[in-house]
């Protein structure tokens, strides 16, 4: 690998091809290839990936695959699954795959994971069966997960997406915002005697998580006494001293490893709230769905490899077609939180401007990821996507059947999903607008006045991912597909997808700000910062 992948001959070939393709419209690409859908869709097991509405040709994919090989993607994949320290800035392995796949990582790592899985399964069974009770003898009915970032977004997504799988009388709740409103709203509606609190913090000193954990402890202990802490709190952490001070019982501690980043941690004990809500059998299915994709990613040729295709197309759209954003549009209300989850996954992983070799990159990396359930989004921001000046890439995601088990309602959702993907790709020309107005009986003057307002440029590239139904197994597969797609993109860009130094600076600065005004601010902008602190003190 060169210092910058943009120095590769294969990169230059893709860039030259992108210039050639810059004036190509999906209408023309489709007209030139009557078999376009057949040529640009992949079916694997129960998955369908339709990329026929991407602004690509067969040559585009061939050149992108050449670039992937030149960037050592096959070797990087093997190194990740083997447990090499590919997180080079922190000298760590990247082994979230070992949490779900028995073919990932060294045997010692697999043994540790297996032991923790047994501990989790036993704990979940004891809570759900009532073998483990609160300090007053009541069965736990509420589980409150306190975390932030991946320690919140992952289990929250799983619980929301699999709400139809909740069982065992357990209701999960999530607290992440440090302003205390989530916790204050929650404690008004649940009984502390029936509440188990999970504190997810690798270091157990994350400022936001610690503040919420301390407030939750005060609530529980205030209502039930000091002995309640040992029975009503669980921790996912590595900081034994801090857990001792907090009062976490030894049997209520679950480990974290430095080879699992926060945004990849839902497969670990960080997913405990979800496992308590859906049960260990369903959680195993969730892990199996991800493992299925791991095996596919490591064995399928690039031409039929779903995450590889998703990844190289992400690079093509962001870097070579210069599309600044990716709209994630699930046509399933169960996946309402998927865009937020993918925001962290993609933007924290590849929001980098420095290469693995420490040189500033000279090309665009991670897109801004955003989105909402498609049916709702059609009546809000789709207007901008269709006719606005910014142009986005689009990911449509749709199950064939609704999560509740039927097709009623989902037929209408799919109808809209397919229609929107067509409209984004092919648009609505001036001639079509005028013909439509004439057919509707519009006057010539109105046609002249209004036809331009009805034109849709089209040529907005999109992919469509379809699968049978949102289940624990398919959800695991979706998350793993995007994880590996992000890894592919980071490899082609030559950046480290597994550190997050950009998250740390704000945390460090926050520690040095004294809102009581006792300690004067230091550093650049200290005068303005002091004025703001004084303003808060005066007007609070």
The catalytic residue positions are 348, 379, 507
Torsion angle of alpha carbons 260, 262, 263, 265, nearest 10°? 60
Q: Cα(369)–Cα(485) distance, rounded to whole angstroms? A: 14
Q: Cα(291)–Cα(481) distance, rounded to whole angstroms? A: 10
Please state the φ and ψ torsions of residue 197, each to the nearest 5 degrees: -110, 130
Tokens 């979800």 locate to: 274
Q: What angle do CA 265, 270, 275 make, to 5 degrees?
A: 120
Three-class SS of residue 330? strand
Closest CA to 398 of 312, 317, 462: 462
For residue 486, what are its two tokens? 């992000």
> β-strands 393-399, 462-467: how paired?
parallel
Q: Is the dihedral of CA 85, 86, 87, 89 positive or negative?
A: positive
Closest CA to 386 of 336, 460, 319, 442: 460
- Other Cβ atoms closer than 10 A to 480: 26
In sequence order, the 6+-apart residues with CB closer than 8 A to the CB of 235 are 198, 199, 200, 201, 204, 243, 246, 248, 252, 253, 254
Helices (H), 380-453: 382-387, 410-426, 430-439, 444-450
DSSP type of residue 526: H
Three-class SS of residue 248? coil
Three-class SS of residue 441? coil
Q: Cα(271)–Cα(172) distance, rounded to whole angstroms? A: 11
Closest CA to 259 of 119, 117, 80, 121: 80
Q: Is the dihedral of CA 154, 156, 161, 164 positive or negative?
A: positive
Percent helix, strand and coil across the chain, each rounded to 5? Answer: 55, 10, 35
Judged on CB neighbours under 10 Å (0-12, 13-18, 19+), 444 is exposed
Whether the CB-CB separation of 329 and 413 falls below 8 Å is answered with no
* Sheet containing 195-200: order of strands: 171-175, 142-146, 195-200, 233-236, 253-254
Whether the CB-CB separation of 186 and 175 falls below 8 Å is answered with yes
Q: Cα(262)–Cα(87) distance, rounded to whole angstroms? A: 14
């Amino acid at each position: 690998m060169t210092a910058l992948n943009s120095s590769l001959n294969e990169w230059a070939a893709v860039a030259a091809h992108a210039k050639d393709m810059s004036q190509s419209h999906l209408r023309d690409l489709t007209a030139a290839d009557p078999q376009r859908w057949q040529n640009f869709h992949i079916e694997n097991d129960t998955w369908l990936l339709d990329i026929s509405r991407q602004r690509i040709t067969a040559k585009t994919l061939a050149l992108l695959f050449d670039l992937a090989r030149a960037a050592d993607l096959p070797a990087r994949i093997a190194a990740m699954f083997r447990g090499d320290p590919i997180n080079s800035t922190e000298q760590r392995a990247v082994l979230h795959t070992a949490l779900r796949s028995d073919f990932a990582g060294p045997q010692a790592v697999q043994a540790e994971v297996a032991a923790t899985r047994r501990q989790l399964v036993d704990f979940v069974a004891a809570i759900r069966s009532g073998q483990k009770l609160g300090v007053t003898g009541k069965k736990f009915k509420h589980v409150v997960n306190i975390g932030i970032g991946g320690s919140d977004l992952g289990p929250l997504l799983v619980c929301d997406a699999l709400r139809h799988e909740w069982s065992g009388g357990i209701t999960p709740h999530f607290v992440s915002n440090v302003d205390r409103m989530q916790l204050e709203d929650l404690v008004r509606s649940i009984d502390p005697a029936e509440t188990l609190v999970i504190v997810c913090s690798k270091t157990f000193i994350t400022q936001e998580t610690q503040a919420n954990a301390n407030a939750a402890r005060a609530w529980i202990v205030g209502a039930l006494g000091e002995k309640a802490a040992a029975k009503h709190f669980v921790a996912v952490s590595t900081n034994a001293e801090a857990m001792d001070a907090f009062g976490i019982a030894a049997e209520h501690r679950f480990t974290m490893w430095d080879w699992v980043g926060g945004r990849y941690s839902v497969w670990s004990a960080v997913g405990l709230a979800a496992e308590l809500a859906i049960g260990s059998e369903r959680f195993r299915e969730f892990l199996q769905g991800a493992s299925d994709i791991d095996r596919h990613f490591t064995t399928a040729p690039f031409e039929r490899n779903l995450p590889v295709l998703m990844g190289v197309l992400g690079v093509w759209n962001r870097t070579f077609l210069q599309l600044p954003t990716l709209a994630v549009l699930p046509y399933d209300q169960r996946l309402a939180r998927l865009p937020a989850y993918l925001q962290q996954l993609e933007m924290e992983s590849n929001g980098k401007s420095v290469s693995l070799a420490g040189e500033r990159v000279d090309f665009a990396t991670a897109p801004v990821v955003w989105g909402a359930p498609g049916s709702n989004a059609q009546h809000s921001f789709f207007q901008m996507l269709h006719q606005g000046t910014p142009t986005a890439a689009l990911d449509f995601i749709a199950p064939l059947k609704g999560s509740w088990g039927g097709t009623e309602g989902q037929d209408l959702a799919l109808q809209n999903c397919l229609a929107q993907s067509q409209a984004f790709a092919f648009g609505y020309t001036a001639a079509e607008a005028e013909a439509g107005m004439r057919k509707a009986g519009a006057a010539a003057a109105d046609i002249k006045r209004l036809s331009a307002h009805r034109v849709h440029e089209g040529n907005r590239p999109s992919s469509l991912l379809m699968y049978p139904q949102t289940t624990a197994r398919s959800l695991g597969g979706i998350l793993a597909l995007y994880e590996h797609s992000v890894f592919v993109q980071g490899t082609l860009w030559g950046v480290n997808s597994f550190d997050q130094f950009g998250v740390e600076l704000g945390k460090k600065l926050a520690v040095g700000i004294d809102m009581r005004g006792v300690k004067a601010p230091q550093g650049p902008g200290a005068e303005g910062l002091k004025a703001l602190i004084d303003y808060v003190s005066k007007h609070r």
